[in-house]
Amino acid sequence: MEVEARFHGRGGQGAVTAVQLLASAAIAEGRYAQAFPEFGPERRGAPVRAYLRISDRYIFRRDPVREPSAVAVLDPGLVLVEDVLAGLRPGGIAVINTRSGEVAAKVKDSRPDVDVHVVDAEAIAMEVLGRPVVNTAVLGAFIKATGIVSPESVRRIIEDSFPGRLAELNWRAVEMAMGSVKRL
């Protein structure tokens, strides 16, 4: 398995859509992928998790990811209420949406082995989409940090998944995040 990832978000932020876009991009590259939500009753604002597996071989296992190689955090506030690094493998990657970087520094302190990447996804979302829907910006930071799928595949999937102008704007959010994500 090349990647087993866990996305932390809040209901309505688009964590499920983010993993689905990533899985679809991998599938479009001829690989195998699996994207699924935690399957709780999904309520706006409640913490939600979504899982992603990508591999060059058929994926048989269908259990929740307990030892991810990467995590993404769509809302910095979640770091305070959940152990977002739970089970993250040694040297694993964490991609965190944060404005001040304060939260990310705390994460890095708690697990110095983790390769922490930060992006101000909310600023990008507000600028590009005019709404705090951060999923595509975090996705952009995630593919830059992990290199798990090519930006070109993501672009094609976004064009397939969003109607007209929304596709354009979301792709723009991805590009901006790829350009501005920083490694701690």
Residues that bind another protein (CB under 8 A): 19-20, 23-24, 26-28, 30, 32-37, 39, 41, 59-64, 66, 157
Which CB, 61 or 131, lies closer to another protein?
61
Got the DSSP string for 139-179? HHHHHHHH--S-HHHHHHHHHHHS-HHHHHHHHHHHHHHHH
Which CB, 128 or 158, lies closer to another protein?
158
Which CB, 60 or 131, lies closer to another protein?
60
Nearest CA-CA partner of 75 in 50, 103, 108: 103
- Six-digit token pair at 163? 């109607």
Task: Classify burial at 176, counting beta carbons within 10 Å of its beta carbon; exposed 0-12, middle 13-18, buried 19 or more.
Answer: buried
Minimum Å distance from CB 96 to another protein?
A: 24
Which CB, 59 or 126, lies closer to another protein?
59
Minimum Å distance from CB 105 to another protein?
A: 33
Tell me the CA end-to-end span of the chain in Å, nearest whole number.
26
Strands 3-10 and 70-73 turn out to be: parallel
Which CB, 35 or 176, lies closer to another protein?
35
Cα angle value 72/26/54 (rounded, 5°) = 60
Minimum Å distance from CB 62 to another protein?
A: 4
- Six-digit token pair at 52? 């992603």
Minimum Å distance from CB 128 to another protein?
A: 24
Minimum Å distance from CB 129 to another protein?
A: 23
The Cα–Cα gap between 95 and 83 comes to 14
